[in-house]
Structure 1
Amino acid sequence: MKLSMWAMVKGQFNKLPPVSEADLTGKTVLVLGANTGLGFEASKHFASMNPGRLILACRSQSRGQAALEELQAKTGYKKAELWIIDLADFASVTKFADKFEQDGGRLDILVENAARAQLKYEATKDGWESSLQVNCLATPLVALRLLPRMMQTARQHTTVARIVVVSSEVHYFASIPKELLDRGNAIATLGSKDYCTPRIMRASYPTTKLLNIYFMRGLNEYLGPTAPIIVNAVNPGMCVSELRRDLPAVIAFISRIVERIMAFTAEEGSRQLVFGALGEAKNPDALRGAYINQSRVEEPSDFVIGSAGHKAQSQIWNEMVDILKKVDPRVSETIDEYLSGA
């Protein structure tokens, strides 16, 4: 599928379907990036459905605590928990996952919402370009580390767990240059200071959203069609959010003007996160490996579904897994036990 800029703008003026609803009694929902924007609004929706536990995974203790208190005040839900995770720090992700394994609870829904948009190169303490690490390495690391608990939950409670990856329609405007793939270390190159020139950084966010699609499709493929876990990717559309808070002042000002004209509210965008987690309750397989836009399944970009794109997906998956196995040896155990052929 191809998406024109006009079609993308036009879609911003569509009336969105109402939020999906379900009884979440006894179930555990975990939302990354839950203290603001899409993550907070999605958490409010989940809280209204009485989950057994709702975990707000946030980077900042103070902002996370403020969000927790606001959630309780606005919804009356008293079982929300604040857990700290910094996706720009692999050690923090590993500590978070270790804590969840030791916690001993079930996990039914994982919403991977955290994202970063950068126009200037900024390295993490792990040596990666920050938006690439947050969006495309740490986010998969969370899913792979928590996958055993989700599989155990699904089997023990005879249910279907869900992983929702928040991507974007801007993936339609991204591709990975063939020469980059031919080098055999595309992710390492994309995350390096030498490669991340100002021109490359201007296209980095769409590229990370493309890699999100690749991760979702790869995970779905290796889980297989009968796994008790549904994994999908959603496009919330352009929303009023803090995603663009790190942009240069002039660009941020222009973005705010555009937001006022055509952006969805954070609540409207959050409906897509909830749909990925709860939609098609009578036929959940309809969302298996799906790219979701405005509460319906749509075809991802031609680059993704073409033969060259599928080859790139396999290469990107293998490179990502190799990187994450070095970051956290527990990834190897998950791959061997749950992801056939990965």
Structure 2
Amino acid sequence: MPPEPTIMNRLKAQTCKQPPVVEANLTGKTVVVLGASTGIGFESCKHFAGMNAGKIILACRSESRGRAAVEKLRQETGYTKGELWIVDLADFRSVISFVDKYEREGGRLDILLANAAMEPGKFIPTKDGWESTMQVNYLATSLVVLLLIPTMERTARECGTRPRIVSVSSELMYDVGFEQDAVAQRGIVKTLADPEYLKKGARMRQQYSITKLLNLSFTRSLTTHLPRTSPLIAVAPAPGFCVSELRRDLTGAFKHVAKVMETLIALPTEVGARRLVAGAVGGKEDELRGQFMNRAEVWKPHPDMETEEGRGVEERIWVETLELLGKVDSRVKAIAERYLSG
């Protein structure tokens, strides 16, 4: 049975001896890592390099930091097949350009590790008009996944493999939920990103956790709507609380508290990467479909997701997400109709 998400179990998962990295042979396979220039994303690339991946695409926002990451990967592992591709998840046009390039030049796609995220702790709008945490962590990440489904389906068909979609979640999602103030609105996602909604209480400080809950919801809904015969495996692992640059934009007392917590219980970044790699190459494939993973094992989802009402909210969010992203790129609707009719 999957562990219950009690405080004691979560603390134990954070502080007990961590399992070793899962090993696999990735010869000839292509891995894409979003948010690969530093932290857990970069450490994941190092693990994939050690498994002799045919190609690792480091998808980064900054060209200078991305180039430095490719060179660092070469220096630290000897791996020479890393490629820098630019994508800025805070700009939908950049996401579309990234996918268009992949369709032209990327070839096969065996593992998509959607790791990029931000936690500014304050309201910052994107040029597309969205709250930045919502766009980067959820909407743009989901758009990349959806638009690359045809490529992964083709890879499965032509190469006889089962590509994996690894959407990074967090055990912090257990600490939040979709409040009735948002659920009562026609657009739940739009409400969760609305500046007026976020002004109330501690909602902006919880926005990162909310997007991680949305990442799991998306993974579960994607699995539900993929036909049971689909070769794609979607899973949502959590890296645990790690030393990371994720919190570099925090300010004030919140940043101080985060630093203290890092000193007391944070895992090394490399250990967090092991957990993501476990979602990418470990476990029994069909047992991982649509699951949340913590400490490299399947855990129970958010309690609300196990109720009838919660499943209804999840489906509403799925439908709204497809509608919102369909307005960004018309291919979303066609992909949903062809591949997500389950």
State which of 228, 232, 238 in structure 1 corresponds to 2:241.
238
Counterpart amino acid of residue 339 in structure 1:
L
Q: Deviations over 1:8-47 (max 9, x none)?
A: 3333111111001111111000000001111000000001
CA contact (8 A) 1:238 1:264 kept: yes
* TM superposition shift of 1:182: 2.3
Q: Secondary structure at the match of 2:233?
A: strand
Provide the residue aligned with 1:271 in structure 2.
274
More displaced 10-residue stretch of structure 1: 300-309 or 137-146: 300-309
* TM superposition shift of 1:2: 5.7
- The 5-angstrom pairing of residues 29-40 of structure 1 reads 29-40=31-42
Query: Are 1:210 and 2:188 counterparts?
Result: no
Q: Deviations over 1:266-324 (max 9, x none)?
A: 100001110001002xx311111111111111111211221111111000001100000
Q: Secondary structure at the match of 2:321?
A: helix
More displaced 10-residue stretch of structure 1: 5-14 or 327-336: 5-14
Provide the residue aligned with 2:258 in structure 1.
255
Counterpart amino acid of residue 270 in structure 1:
A
Q: Secondary structure at the match of 1:83?
A: strand
- The 5-angstrom pairing of residues 282-321 of structure 1 reads 283-321=284-322
Q: Secondary structure at the match of 2:196?
A: coil
CA contact (8 A) 2:5 2:299 kept: no
CA contact (8 A) 1:118 1:201 kept: no
Residues of 1 paired with 2:150 and 2:337: CA distance?
11
Q: Secondary structure at the match of 2:150?
A: helix
Provide the residue aligned with 1:12 in structure 2.
14
* TM superposition shift of 1:339: 0.5
* TM superposition shift of 1:257: 1.9
* Structure-1-length-normalised TM-score: 0.96
* TM superposition shift of 1:332: 1.3
Q: Deviations over 1:58-111 (max 9, x none)?
A: 000011111110000001010100000000110000010000001151000000
Counterpart amino acid of residue 335 in structure 2:
T
Q: Deviations over 1:209-237 (max 9, x none)?
A: 11111100011111132211100000111
Provide the residue aligned with 1:333 in structure 2.
334
Provide the residue aligned with 1:57 in structure 2.
59
Q: Deviations over 1:218-265 (max 9, x none)?
A: 111111322111000001110000111111143222212211110111
* Structure-2-length-normalised TM-score: 0.96
CA contact (8 A) 2:5 2:300 kept: no
Provide the residue aligned with 1:183 in structure 2.
185
Q: Secondary structure at the match of 2:56?
A: strand
Identity %, equivalent residues: 49
Q: Which runs of 4+ in 1 moved over 4 A?
A: none
Counterpart amino acid of residue 111 in structure 2:
I
State which of 161, 172, 192 in structure 1 corresponds to 2:194.
192
* C-alpha RMSD over aligned residues: 1.3
Residues of 1 paired with 2:106 and 2:137: CA distance?
27
Gap regions ≥5 residues in structure 1: none
CA contact (8 A) 2:36 2:42 kept: yes
Counterpart amino acid of residue 117 in structure 2:
A
Gap regions ≥5 residues in structure 2: none
CA contact (8 A) 2:27 2:54 kept: yes
Provide the residue aligned with 2:103 in structure 1.
101
